Amino acid sequence: MLRRSLFHTLLACGAVLLLGLGSASAQAAERVTLFAAASLTDAVDALAERYMRDHDVEIVPVYAASSTLARQIANGAPAEIYLSANEQWMDWLGSQGEIPLTQRHDVLNNRLALIAPQDSEIVAFTPSEATSIAERLGKGRLAVGNPAHVPAGIYAKQALQGIGQWQTLRSHLARADNVRTALALVERGEAPLGIVYASDAQASDKVETLGLFPDASHEPIIYPMALIGDAPSDAAKSLADWLDGRQAAAIFKRFGFATVAAEDAS
Protein backbone atom coordinates (compact mmCIF):
# COMPACT_ATOMS: atom_id res chain seq x y z
CA MET A 1 0.00 0.00 0.00
CA LEU A 2 2.88 2.31 0.87
CA ARG A 3 4.60 1.53 -2.42
CA ARG A 4 1.42 2.24 -4.37
CA SER A 5 0.98 5.53 -2.51
CA LEU A 6 4.60 6.46 -3.21
CA PHE A 7 4.13 5.57 -6.88
CA HIS A 8 1.05 7.77 -7.18
CA THR A 9 2.87 10.62 -5.43
CA LEU A 10 5.82 10.39 -7.83
CA LEU A 11 3.43 10.18 -10.79
CA ALA A 12 1.60 13.30 -9.62
CA CYS A 13 4.88 15.14 -9.11
CA GLY A 14 5.96 14.15 -12.59
CA ALA A 15 2.70 15.41 -14.06
CA VAL A 16 3.08 18.73 -12.24
CA LEU A 17 6.65 19.00 -13.51
CA LEU A 18 5.57 18.31 -17.08
CA LEU A 19 2.79 20.86 -16.81
CA GLY A 20 5.26 23.36 -15.46
CA LEU A 21 7.67 22.68 -18.30
CA GLY A 22 4.85 22.98 -20.81
CA SER A 23 3.77 26.26 -19.30
CA ALA A 24 7.35 27.57 -19.32
CA SER A 25 7.70 26.48 -22.94
CA ALA A 26 4.49 28.28 -23.86
CA GLN A 27 5.70 31.39 -22.09
CA ALA A 28 9.10 31.17 -23.80
CA ALA A 29 7.72 32.44 -27.11
CA GLU A 30 8.76 36.06 -27.61
CA ARG A 31 6.12 38.65 -28.47
CA VAL A 32 6.49 41.23 -31.21
CA THR A 33 4.00 44.10 -31.29
CA LEU A 34 3.41 45.29 -34.84
CA PHE A 35 1.55 48.57 -35.41
CA ALA A 36 0.12 48.58 -38.95
CA ALA A 37 -2.13 50.85 -40.98
CA ALA A 38 -5.77 49.72 -41.09
CA SER A 39 -5.51 49.00 -44.81
CA LEU A 40 -2.99 46.25 -43.99
CA THR A 41 -5.34 44.31 -41.69
CA ASP A 42 -6.01 41.28 -43.90
CA ALA A 43 -2.48 41.07 -45.27
CA VAL A 44 -0.78 41.35 -41.87
CA ASP A 45 -3.16 38.82 -40.32
CA ALA A 46 -2.15 36.35 -43.04
CA LEU A 47 1.53 37.24 -42.71
CA ALA A 48 1.45 36.78 -38.93
CA GLU A 49 -0.24 33.41 -39.23
CA ARG A 50 2.33 32.24 -41.80
CA TYR A 51 5.31 33.51 -39.80
CA MET A 52 4.20 32.05 -36.47
CA ARG A 53 3.80 28.67 -38.12
CA ASP A 54 7.60 28.39 -38.45
CA HIS A 55 8.85 30.64 -35.63
CA ASP A 56 8.50 30.51 -31.87
CA VAL A 57 7.18 34.06 -31.80
CA GLU A 58 3.81 35.58 -30.98
CA ILE A 59 2.95 38.51 -33.25
CA VAL A 60 0.55 41.03 -31.74
CA PRO A 61 -0.84 43.28 -34.49
CA VAL A 62 -2.49 46.62 -33.72
CA TYR A 63 -4.49 48.28 -36.52
CA ALA A 64 -5.67 51.88 -36.89
CA ALA A 65 -5.11 54.92 -39.09
CA SER A 66 -1.38 55.61 -39.51
CA SER A 67 -1.87 58.97 -37.80
CA THR A 68 -3.47 57.35 -34.76
CA LEU A 69 -0.72 54.76 -34.50
CA ALA A 70 2.05 57.35 -34.83
CA ARG A 71 0.55 59.42 -32.03
CA GLN A 72 0.14 56.35 -29.82
CA ILE A 73 3.79 55.40 -30.36
CA ALA A 74 4.87 58.97 -29.62
CA ASN A 75 2.91 58.73 -26.35
CA GLY A 76 4.72 55.56 -25.30
CA ALA A 77 2.69 52.71 -26.81
CA PRO A 78 4.89 49.55 -26.86
CA ALA A 79 5.23 49.16 -30.63
CA GLU A 80 8.29 47.35 -31.97
CA ILE A 81 7.54 47.65 -35.69
CA TYR A 82 5.55 50.42 -37.38
CA LEU A 83 4.09 50.01 -40.88
CA SER A 84 2.60 53.32 -42.04
CA ALA A 85 0.38 53.96 -45.06
CA ASN A 86 2.32 57.09 -45.94
CA GLU A 87 5.69 58.71 -45.41
CA GLN A 88 4.26 61.81 -43.73
CA TRP A 89 3.37 60.08 -40.47
CA MET A 90 6.62 58.14 -40.39
CA ASP A 91 8.44 61.46 -40.86
CA TRP A 92 6.37 63.01 -38.07
CA LEU A 93 7.15 60.18 -35.68
CA GLY A 94 10.85 60.42 -36.47
CA SER A 95 10.79 64.16 -35.82
CA GLN A 96 9.58 63.71 -32.25
CA GLY A 97 13.15 63.17 -31.11
CA GLU A 98 12.49 60.68 -28.34
CA ILE A 99 11.41 57.84 -30.65
CA PRO A 100 14.38 56.37 -32.56
CA LEU A 101 13.47 54.73 -35.88
CA THR A 102 15.90 52.17 -37.25
CA GLN A 103 16.06 50.33 -40.57
CA ARG A 104 13.42 52.63 -42.01
CA HIS A 105 12.66 51.89 -45.64
CA ASP A 106 9.79 51.77 -48.14
CA VAL A 107 8.04 48.41 -48.40
CA LEU A 108 4.81 48.66 -50.40
CA ASN A 109 2.90 50.60 -53.04
CA ASN A 110 -0.85 50.86 -53.56
CA ARG A 111 -3.45 52.44 -55.84
CA LEU A 112 -6.48 54.61 -55.10
CA ALA A 113 -9.90 53.28 -56.11
CA LEU A 114 -13.38 54.77 -56.45
CA ILE A 115 -15.88 52.19 -55.15
CA ALA A 116 -19.64 51.64 -54.95
CA PRO A 117 -21.83 49.01 -53.26
CA GLN A 118 -21.91 45.70 -55.12
CA ASP A 119 -25.52 46.22 -56.20
CA SER A 120 -24.91 49.76 -57.45
CA GLU A 121 -26.27 50.72 -60.87
CA ILE A 122 -23.43 53.18 -61.48
CA VAL A 123 -21.47 52.15 -64.55
CA ALA A 124 -17.70 51.77 -64.18
CA PHE A 125 -15.60 54.75 -65.27
CA THR A 126 -12.14 56.19 -64.77
CA PRO A 127 -12.16 59.25 -62.47
CA SER A 128 -10.92 62.20 -64.49
CA GLU A 129 -11.62 65.84 -65.28
CA ALA A 130 -14.11 64.67 -67.90
CA THR A 131 -16.16 62.42 -65.57
CA SER A 132 -18.14 64.08 -62.79
CA ILE A 133 -18.19 62.15 -59.51
CA ALA A 134 -20.71 64.63 -58.08
CA GLU A 135 -23.29 63.76 -60.76
CA ARG A 136 -23.00 60.08 -59.90
CA LEU A 137 -23.03 60.80 -56.18
CA GLY A 138 -26.37 62.61 -56.32
CA LYS A 139 -27.55 63.62 -52.85
CA GLY A 140 -25.35 61.03 -51.14
CA ARG A 141 -22.00 61.36 -49.40
CA LEU A 142 -18.57 60.32 -50.63
CA ALA A 143 -16.91 58.08 -48.01
CA VAL A 144 -13.23 58.86 -47.45
CA GLY A 145 -10.67 58.70 -44.70
CA ASN A 146 -10.53 62.06 -42.94
CA PRO A 147 -8.33 64.22 -45.23
CA ALA A 148 -7.04 66.09 -42.18
CA HIS A 149 -4.95 63.16 -40.98
CA VAL A 150 -5.85 59.74 -42.46
CA PRO A 151 -3.41 58.83 -45.28
CA ALA A 152 -6.14 57.41 -47.55
CA GLY A 153 -8.08 60.66 -47.07
CA ILE A 154 -5.00 62.76 -47.76
CA TYR A 155 -4.43 60.87 -51.01
CA ALA A 156 -8.15 61.15 -51.84
CA LYS A 157 -8.05 64.94 -51.44
CA GLN A 158 -4.95 65.13 -53.64
CA ALA A 159 -6.62 62.95 -56.29
CA LEU A 160 -9.81 65.01 -56.32
CA GLN A 161 -7.73 68.17 -56.58
CA GLY A 162 -5.73 66.56 -59.36
CA ILE A 163 -8.87 65.96 -61.46
CA GLY A 164 -10.39 69.31 -60.55
CA GLN A 165 -13.28 68.04 -58.39
CA TRP A 166 -12.24 68.82 -54.82
CA GLN A 167 -14.07 72.14 -54.51
CA THR A 168 -17.30 70.53 -55.72
CA LEU A 169 -17.09 67.51 -53.43
CA ARG A 170 -15.43 68.79 -50.25
CA SER A 171 -18.79 69.58 -48.60
CA HIS A 172 -20.20 66.17 -49.54
CA LEU A 173 -17.72 63.96 -47.74
CA ALA A 174 -18.41 61.29 -45.12
CA ARG A 175 -15.13 61.58 -43.22
CA ALA A 176 -14.04 58.34 -41.55
CA ASP A 177 -11.44 57.68 -38.84
CA ASN A 178 -9.61 55.21 -41.09
CA VAL A 179 -9.88 53.71 -44.54
CA ARG A 180 -11.62 50.53 -43.35
CA THR A 181 -14.39 52.60 -41.80
CA ALA A 182 -14.81 54.41 -45.13
CA LEU A 183 -15.00 51.01 -46.81
CA ALA A 184 -17.65 49.86 -44.33
CA LEU A 185 -19.82 52.90 -45.07
CA VAL A 186 -19.98 51.85 -48.71
CA GLU A 187 -20.41 48.16 -47.87
CA ARG A 188 -23.49 48.99 -45.78
CA GLY A 189 -24.90 51.29 -48.45
CA GLU A 190 -24.65 54.32 -46.18
CA ALA A 191 -22.56 56.04 -48.84
CA PRO A 192 -23.16 55.47 -52.57
CA LEU A 193 -19.49 56.06 -53.40
CA GLY A 194 -16.17 55.92 -51.58
CA ILE A 195 -12.46 56.35 -52.13
CA VAL A 196 -10.24 53.65 -50.65
CA TYR A 197 -7.08 51.82 -51.56
CA ALA A 198 -7.32 49.26 -54.35
CA SER A 199 -6.28 46.61 -51.83
CA ASP A 200 -9.27 47.48 -49.60
CA ALA A 201 -11.64 47.20 -52.54
CA GLN A 202 -10.16 43.82 -53.39
CA ALA A 203 -10.62 42.62 -49.81
CA SER A 204 -14.38 43.18 -49.84
CA ASP A 205 -17.02 41.19 -51.73
CA LYS A 206 -19.61 43.86 -50.86
CA VAL A 207 -18.21 46.61 -53.08
CA GLU A 208 -17.13 46.99 -56.68
CA THR A 209 -14.36 49.13 -58.09
CA LEU A 210 -15.72 51.68 -60.54
CA GLY A 211 -12.26 52.87 -61.51
CA LEU A 212 -8.74 53.68 -60.36
CA PHE A 213 -7.54 57.25 -60.00
CA PRO A 214 -4.67 58.19 -62.33
CA ASP A 215 -1.32 57.86 -60.56
CA ALA A 216 -0.46 61.39 -61.62
CA SER A 217 -3.45 62.81 -59.70
CA HIS A 218 -1.87 62.21 -56.29
CA GLU A 219 1.46 61.55 -54.61
CA PRO A 220 2.77 57.97 -54.85
CA ILE A 221 1.15 55.74 -52.23
CA ILE A 222 4.11 54.37 -50.29
CA TYR A 223 4.13 52.28 -47.11
CA PRO A 224 7.35 52.70 -45.08
CA MET A 225 8.35 50.36 -42.26
CA ALA A 226 10.69 50.94 -39.31
CA LEU A 227 11.80 49.30 -36.10
CA ILE A 228 10.96 51.33 -33.02
CA GLY A 229 13.33 52.13 -30.17
CA ASP A 230 17.06 52.17 -29.41
CA ALA A 231 17.46 48.41 -29.06
CA PRO A 232 14.92 46.41 -31.10
CA SER A 233 14.65 42.79 -30.01
CA ASP A 234 16.15 40.07 -32.17
CA ALA A 235 12.63 38.74 -32.70
CA ALA A 236 11.46 42.11 -34.03
CA LYS A 237 14.48 42.43 -36.32
CA SER A 238 13.97 38.91 -37.67
CA LEU A 239 10.31 39.60 -38.40
CA ALA A 240 11.13 42.90 -40.12
CA ASP A 241 13.71 41.12 -42.29
CA TRP A 242 11.18 38.41 -43.17
CA LEU A 243 8.60 41.03 -44.18
CA ASP A 244 11.09 42.13 -46.85
CA GLY A 245 11.50 38.63 -48.25
CA ARG A 246 9.94 36.70 -51.11
CA GLN A 247 7.49 34.75 -48.96
CA ALA A 248 6.01 37.94 -47.51
CA ALA A 249 6.02 39.65 -50.93
CA ALA A 250 3.86 36.86 -52.35
CA ILE A 251 1.34 37.31 -49.52
CA PHE A 252 1.30 41.09 -49.89
CA LYS A 253 0.68 40.64 -53.63
CA ARG A 254 -2.21 38.26 -52.95
CA PHE A 255 -3.89 41.04 -50.98
CA GLY A 256 -3.50 43.66 -53.69
CA PHE A 257 -0.22 45.36 -52.73
CA ALA A 258 2.90 45.81 -54.83
CA THR A 259 6.24 45.54 -53.08
CA VAL A 260 8.72 48.35 -53.61
CA ALA A 261 11.49 45.84 -54.29
CA ALA A 262 9.42 44.32 -57.08
CA GLU A 263 8.72 47.78 -58.52
CA ASP A 264 12.41 48.66 -58.42
CA ALA A 265 13.33 45.37 -60.08
CA SER A 266 11.02 46.15 -62.97
* Domains of the chain with CATH codes: 29-109+222-265 (3.40.190.10), 112-212 (3.40.190.10)
Per-residue pLDDT band for 28 (boundaries 50, 70, 90) equals low
> What is the separation, in whole angstroms, between the first and last Cα of the chain?
79
> How many Cα atoms sit within 13 Å of 108 on the Cβ side?
30
- List of residues 6+ apart from 106 with CB closer than 8 A: 87, 222, 223, 224, 225, 260
Mean pLDDT along residues 20-25: 42
pLDDT score of 33 more than 60:
yes
Mean pLDDT along residues 201-211: 97
Mean pLDDT lowest among 37-46, 81-90, 255-264: 255-264
pLDDT score of 23 more than 70:
no
Given this model, what pLDDT does residue 16 score? 38
Query: pTM for the full model?
Result: 0.86
Could you read off the pLDDT of 114-145 as tens digits, one per residue? 999 999 999 999 999 999 999 999 999 999 99
Q: Is 197 annotated as a binding residue?
A: yes
Contact 194, 206 (CB under 8 A): no
Mean pLDDT lowest among 84-88, 249-253, 260-264: 260-264
Angle, helices 151-162/87-94, rounded to nearest 10 degrees:
130
pLDDT score of 22 more than 50:
no
Q: Is 39 annotated as a binding residue?
A: yes
pLDDT score of 12 more than 80:
no
- List of residues 6+ apart from 10 with CB closer than 8 A: none
Alpha-carbon Rg for the chain in angstroms: 23
Q: Is 152 annotated as a binding residue?
A: yes
Using DSSP bridges, classify how beta strands 173-176 and 142-145 pair: parallel, antiparallel or unpaired: parallel
The Cα–Cα gap between 180 and 186 comes to 10
